[in-house]
Each structure stands twice: as C-alpha cells, then as structure tokens.
Structure 1
C-alpha cells in the first residue's frame, strides 16, 4: 500500500493512536475485537489501552465484561504485570481472591490512578495495610467494596483521607469497624451517596451524624443501632433508601420516631423487617414525616396495632408496596384502614400469622381490585432498585 504521493509505503499501523482507538471501538463483532491485538504489537498496544475493566475468574461480583475481555486467573498472573499492561483500567475486581495478601495491592500505588471502581469482596487477607496502598494510588476512586475484609477504623480513616471522592462504599460484615471509622468516612467524603454497613456488630449509627445531604442510600441491617444512631443516620436529610431491618429489639416502641421527625422527607424505600419493638407512635410519625414513601417493609413488626395501621392508611398517599407479613397485631380494623387509605397501593404482602379474617381479605380484594395480594414473604426489598447502589 502506498500513500497519495507514491513515495512511502503506508499501512493502518501508521495511523495515530486516536484513529486506531476509534477503529477498535467500532468493531461490532466480538471475534474481531478479540483478535485485533494479534495482528502486531502496535494494535495490541491499542487494544490494551482501550480496556477499561478487569475481573478475575475467582470474582463473583455483578461486574460484566464483554467477550473480548475474558476473565483472568489471579493465580496465573502477577497483578503488577497486568496493571502495567492495562494502564487505563477504570474498574478492577479481585473479589473472591481469598488468599490475596496486602502486598498484592502494592501495584495500585503505581498503576491505580485511573481506577474508579474497586471490588475486594471476601478478600480475607486484606487489612489496613492493603487499604493504605489503595488510598495512596487510587485517588480517583468513587466505588469500593470491602465486603468481609479485615479492616478497622484505621483503614477507614486512611481511605477517607486518600480517596475523598468516594461515592459508594460497601462495608458489609466488616466486623472490626465502629462508629469512629464511619465518622471519618462521612466527614472526609463529602460526595458519599451510598454506604452498606449491614452486620457490623459495633456500629450504632452515630458515626454517620452530620453526613452530607448527598447520602441517599444506607443499608444498616442487623447493626446494633440505638435511638441516637437512628437519628444520626437520617440527619443528612437526603436519604431515599434505608434498611435497618432486624434491629431494635432492645429499644423502646418509640425509638423509631426519629425517622419521621423531618430529616427523612425524601425517603422512598424503608425496610423495618423484624423490628419487633416499633410501636404505633413510631409508625404514625414515619407515615406523617415521610410523604414520598413508596415501599415499606413492616414484616414481623408485632408492636404495630390498629392506631398504627390507621395512621399508615391515612398518611401514606404515595405508598405502592407494603409488607405486613406475620404481623400478629394486624386485625380486621387495621386492614380496613389500609383498604380505605393508601390510594396508590399496588401490592400488599400479607402472608400468614396475622389475625385478619378471610372475610376481611376477600372484601379488600373486591373493593381494591387494583391491589395485588401476595401470600409469600419477600426477604429483599425492591431488589431491582437496591442493586443500583
């Protein structure tokens, strides 16, 4: 092939990188994309710099790669070599690498500047020392998942100081953290949007007090929350999703009033499943103070009686889904209040265990034929919405 002057040989590899990248990105066939780099070193280089995500065989996160980006086995390759090759990665998943040591994250100090999402779920060997490498090298990080990692408050403080742009943090089952570390995270990351702290046994919730109004998602299921902690969680004023299920059996019936005290007016999804201590006053306060509530899980909340159900029917005008499975103190008058109110209700999960008569249920079906009655208990709240945390 010759150029227009006929003086010098020319080929596609003489095009600048931006032209070759443009060509590569527009290849529709997966086979063509996979074989692009086999042509020559130049095209291999272009293929490498186009790669934006990397996930290993042992990873079990929801991250998906195209067929041209096959999964890699962390045992077969040195992470330093891979990061050196793919220097424009924006997403890296090492989830499931249970024997990965802190030293394995050292290459992130040199090659982590472009990484925005990092998944380390069940990397049991990762401690505060590994987090220090992340904080030093991944300054652009916005999403991190440390599910079941052995980090402490020291690691969270380091992470907050080095990765101040964090938006989504998963600390589920990180049993060594406390409110002290959460305070450093919420105060150091002013763009924080979502945090998962479920099953963190030493967390009471006070560490989130004074958080940024950008925080819209909190999953604190099975934490040791207290009244002050619940107040702290909603204090930012921006929450749209709150899961504090399976907490509060040690609290009084009015301990959840804080949710309806004015800070959670934007709340759309609320999970209070297995919060057996919640009473009528708390239920009424939430119904009045959370006007945008669309889904509310009150399964096994035995403390709510007829006055509470009446308040829900009267004030929850935007409620679409309500879970009342096995609520022992839901009787015919309570179901009648729900039937007369909750005008936007489309699904009612009622199941067994309540004292509602068959006649009351049939009357509900007849007069509210637009509402679907479901018997089964739904463990997860709005999974399609929760997955986008």
Structure 2
C-alpha cells in the first residue's frame, strides 16, 4: 500500500478492529440487529447467522474490491455487527488478475490452432454463442467493416474467437498496435504484453505495420516470434520505449524482416552498436529514430550508414557516443537525407555538420540543439550549400554569431523566427541571436 490510500485503508481496518471489540462487549443486545442486517446482505446465512457469515462475506467481497469491503465494514460498525478485520484481503486485484491471466492463456491457446483451409472450423475461444448465432458465417467484407470500427484490442479478441474470423483478419489486417497490452506495474497489474504479442504471432502473419510503443516489459522472445511470423512483409515497427529489448531481439528482427523501411527504437537503452550493424542489413530502410540510444557509437553508425544508403530521416538525438566521424560517414553514404536530428550530440564538431551540408543537398530539417562545440563554420557551410531548409534548431549553440545564422536564413526562405507563426528557426537560450530576421 502506498501514499494516502494506504493510510485510509489502515484507518478503516483499525475501525474494523474497534467494531469487533465493541460488538463483543455489547453482547446479547447487538445480536438481533446484527442478524437482521446480515440476512439482508447475505441471505444464505439465515436469520440466526453466526459471526463467521460476516467474515465469509467480507473475505469474498474484499477479494474483488477492497474499497467495497471497507465501506461495508463502516456500515456494519453503525449497526454494531461483529466483523473480523482479519478476513479483509489486502490484495484486491487477485481475483481480477487471475481472470485476466486465464483469459490471456485462453487467447494464446486458441490462437495456436492451425488455420482452417475451408473456413469450416467454427470452434470459438469465447464460447459457442457466436457460432450458434451464425456470426461465423459473416461475409469477410462485412467482418472487415466491423473490424475497421474496433480498437486493436478488440480485433485481437475477434481473431481468437473463431478460426474463420482469424483467417479473414489474417488476410486483410495490415496494421496492429499492441500498446493496449502493456500494463504499468505501479497499478498492480502484471504485464501481459509478451503473452499477447507471442500469441498474436500465431494469428496475424501479414502485418505491414506494428506498434509496440512504451511496451516497457516486452522481451526478445516475443519480438522474435512476431518477426518470424510476418517476415519480409513487415515494413514498419515502433519499439520506442521498449527498454528490455536487446541486440539479440533486433538481430532476430532484421534477420526475418529484410524489407523494413521505418524503425523507431528511441529510448531502447539496451541497444548497442551490434543492433545498428544488423539494421544495416535492411537495405530499404528510410527512417530510423534512435533518440536516446546512449550506447550507440561511431562504429555502429558507420556500419548502418554504409549499408542503408536510402536513409532519408535519421534521429540521433542524445546519442552522446556519436562524434563528427560518425556523422561524416552518414553524410557521405546517405546523400538523400532530408531530416537529421543531432540534438544533444555534444561531441559533434563543425566537420560533421560541414559534411552534411556538402553531401545532403535535399536536407529540410536540421536539429543541432545543445551541440555546443559548433561554431560559425557550420552555419557558413549550411548557407553555402543548403537551399531547402524549413526547420533549424540551434538552441543552446552559444558559439554562433547572428551574422552566420542570418546568412543561412537569407538563402532559405522557409526559415523564420516570427512569433505569429510557428517558428522554424529555434534559437532558445541564445540571446545574441535574437536579432536574426527572416529572409525578405
């Protein structure tokens, strides 16, 4: 128990103890009132219900909802009913959690059925009601229209409900988000994401887009199962915030899913250069978000750049192990870059940005926030070579002069610092740059 709610529960339990003691002292006079009240809320106990009936009631009630049980204790206190606080279960989610676990196991078990070839298998994981009602005979186009209006969690349940439904959904569902399966352990729930994802690998095998954002308990084995099930059909995956995914999981992903073009692994703190080396095997990769991957160094970035030359958008924000050498390799190998975020890459110096300006002429967005080693040389190269910039973040770059930044703004008409519109030149923390004006 934590915080204020824990204090309230302890106070209520103390009240229950006082109620018990007071009832014992009152003796015979309180028994008729207690018996009548018990009969109303617990008819099976009979008119002469002993105190054990109250304890049984409290135990059953608190197993499902402790707050309800405590409220019941308070009502009993007013009636002078004998109640043993020892019967209050201090884990109110136990019964609910068991049902949730059973449901998850049921989903995975039924998901393991072999697909029906003629869609004649009408067994239902959730009972035979839908089969008896003829729901399994719905035309697939109607079924898909229904699925289009449902959240991903319900689509997952539909696929588990019958083999024919699963076949139809497997054929046509191309995108699935599993964020609903993640549970915050602070709320007392067990994380079901691994079981759900592993079970879904048996159901959805034609996915093009998968979202596992903030699935903080996702493990490599579940990711491997999903990757192997969908193989080269998978084009985009969002693993941002999956803090337990390791190099092994990414290696399995890239081994099975060679056609990935979009990967988000931001805040995946366990990933090292090995993961980025394996991502280089995805030759169609165009977008990668690696913000916060603290273990990435120039070695991993160079391996990625040399093999994934089609990259157009790269986010290396707060990858503090990256220096100008890694950025130079990226610029030389990935000349089609349009978006580059180096915010927080504190080791990057001018030569890295100069290489980007010289090689990546199509660059539209450049983030250099807190790259404090950069000077006017970086801006001079940008002013000389870049003409398509529509976003430039140089906040925290304290060594740049207004004249150097003004030169970039003058040759890129889409850049401005106007407050009445969304600023495209961000100069926060650089008071000396306040005089920079948009191009006329």
TM-score for the superposition, normalised by structure 1: 0.64
Q: For 1:324 and 1:76, how far apart are their aligned partners in 2? A: 43
**Structure 1 243/31 Cα, relative in aligned 2: closer, same or farther at 3 Å?**
closer
**Structure 1 134/28 Cα, relative in aligned 2: closer, same or farther at 3 Å?**
closer
The answer for the alignment partner of 1:131 in structure 2 is: 250
Please report how far the alpha carbon of residue 255 of structure 1 lies from its aligned counterpart in structure 2 after TM superposition. 3.9
Between stretches 214-223 and 251-260, larger displacement belongs to: 251-260
Find out whether 1:201 has 2:320 as its counterpart: yes
The answer for the alignment partner of 1:258 in structure 2 is: 381
Q: For 2:331 and 2:161, how far apart are their aligned partners in 1? A: 57
Q: For 1:31 and 1:59, how far apart are their aligned partners in 2? A: 18
Please report how far the alpha carbon of residue 79 of structure 1 lies from its aligned counterpart in structure 2 after TM superposition. 2.9
Please report how far the alpha carbon of residue 126 of structure 1 lies from its aligned counterpart in structure 2 after TM superposition. 1.8
- Tell whether the 8 Å contact from 2:317 to 2:342 is kept in structure 1 after alignment: yes
Please report how far the alpha carbon of residue 258 of structure 1 lies from its aligned counterpart in structure 2 after TM superposition. 1.9
The answer for the alignment partner of 2:212 in structure 1 is: 94
The answer for the alignment partner of 2:101 in structure 1 is: none
Match among 131, 146, 159 for residue 279 of structure 2 = 159
- Tell whether the 8 Å contact from 2:397 to 2:430 is kept in structure 1 after alignment: no
SS of the equivalent of 1:144 reads strand
The answer for the alignment partner of 2:124 in structure 1 is: none
Q: For 2:148 and 2:304, how far apart are their aligned partners in 1? A: 44
- Tell whether the 8 Å contact from 1:270 to 1:293 is kept in structure 2 after alignment: no
Q: For 2:245 and 2:330, how far apart are their aligned partners in 1? A: 24
Q: For 1:135 and 1:46, how far apart are their aligned partners in 2? A: 27
1:239-250 equivalent positions in 2, closer than 5 A:
239-248=363-372, 250=373
1:131-179 deviation per Cα after TM superposition (whole angstroms, max 9, x unaligned): 1101111122111111122222222111111x11111111111111122
The answer for the alignment partner of 1:229 in structure 2 is: 352
Q: For 1:174 and 1:108, how far apart are their aligned partners in 2? A: 23
Q: For 1:330 and 1:119, how far apart are their aligned partners in 2? A: 37
**Structure 1 28/83 Cα, relative in aligned 2: closer, same or farther at 3 Å?**
closer
Please report how far the alpha carbon of residue 57 of structure 1 lies from its aligned counterpart in structure 2 after TM superposition. 2.5
- Tell whether the 8 Å contact from 2:394 to 2:426 is kept in structure 1 after alignment: no
Match among 246, 250, 268 for residue 390 of structure 2 = 268
1:270-329 deviation per Cα after TM superposition (whole angstroms, max 9, x unaligned): 1111111102452244234x43433459x9xxxxxxxxxxxxxxxxxxx97555666544
- Tell whether the 8 Å contact from 2:247 to 2:274 is kept in structure 1 after alignment: yes
SS of the equivalent of 2:340 reads strand
Q: For 1:112 and 1:28, how far apart are their aligned partners in 2? A: 20
The answer for the alignment partner of 2:202 in structure 1 is: 84
The answer for the alignment partner of 2:412 in structure 1 is: 291
Unaligned runs of 5+ in 1: 1-10, 61-71, 300-318, 344-389
Size of the aligned set, in residue pairs, is 289
- Tell whether the 8 Å contact from 1:131 to 1:158 is kept in structure 2 after alignment: yes
Q: For 1:97 and 1:329, how far apart are their aligned partners in 2? A: 43
- Tell whether the 8 Å contact from 2:227 to 2:256 is kept in structure 1 after alignment: yes
Please report how far the alpha carbon of residue 197 of structure 1 lies from its aligned counterpart in structure 2 after TM superposition. 0.5
**Structure 1 330/165 Cα, relative in aligned 2: closer, same or farther at 3 Å?**
closer
The answer for the alignment partner of 2:221 in structure 1 is: 103
- Tell whether the 8 Å contact from 1:54 to 1:89 is kept in structure 2 after alignment: no
- Tell whether the 8 Å contact from 1:160 to 1:189 is kept in structure 2 after alignment: yes
**Greater share of residues in helix:** 2
- Tell whether the 8 Å contact from 2:205 to 2:229 is kept in structure 1 after alignment: yes
**Structure 1 258/119 Cα, relative in aligned 2: closer, same or farther at 3 Å?**
same
Unaligned runs of 5+ in 2: 1-133, 184-189
Q: For 1:231 and 1:121, how far apart are their aligned partners in 2? A: 30
**Structure 1 328/89 Cα, relative in aligned 2: closer, same or farther at 3 Å?**
closer
Q: Root-mean-square deviation (CA), in Å? A: 3.6
Q: For 2:199 and 2:378, how far apart are their aligned partners in 1? A: 53
Match among 279, 283, 292 for residue 401 of structure 2 = 279
Q: For 2:150 and 2:264, how far apart are their aligned partners in 1? A: 32
Greater CA radius of gyration, 1 or 2? 2
Please report how far the alpha carbon of residue 202 of structure 1 lies from its aligned counterpart in structure 2 after TM superposition. 1.6
Q: For 1:174 and 1:182, how far apart are their aligned partners in 2? A: 11
Q: For 1:39 and 1:171, how far apart are their aligned partners in 2? A: 38
1:319-334 equivalent positions in 2, closer than 5 A:
327-329=430-432, 334=435
1:163-217 deviation per Cα after TM superposition (whole angstroms, max 9, x unaligned): 1111111111111112222222223123212111000112122231213333211
Please report how far the alpha carbon of residue 90 of structure 1 lies from its aligned counterpart in structure 2 after TM superposition. 1.8
The answer for the alignment partner of 1:304 in structure 2 is: none
The answer for the alignment partner of 1:170 in structure 2 is: 289
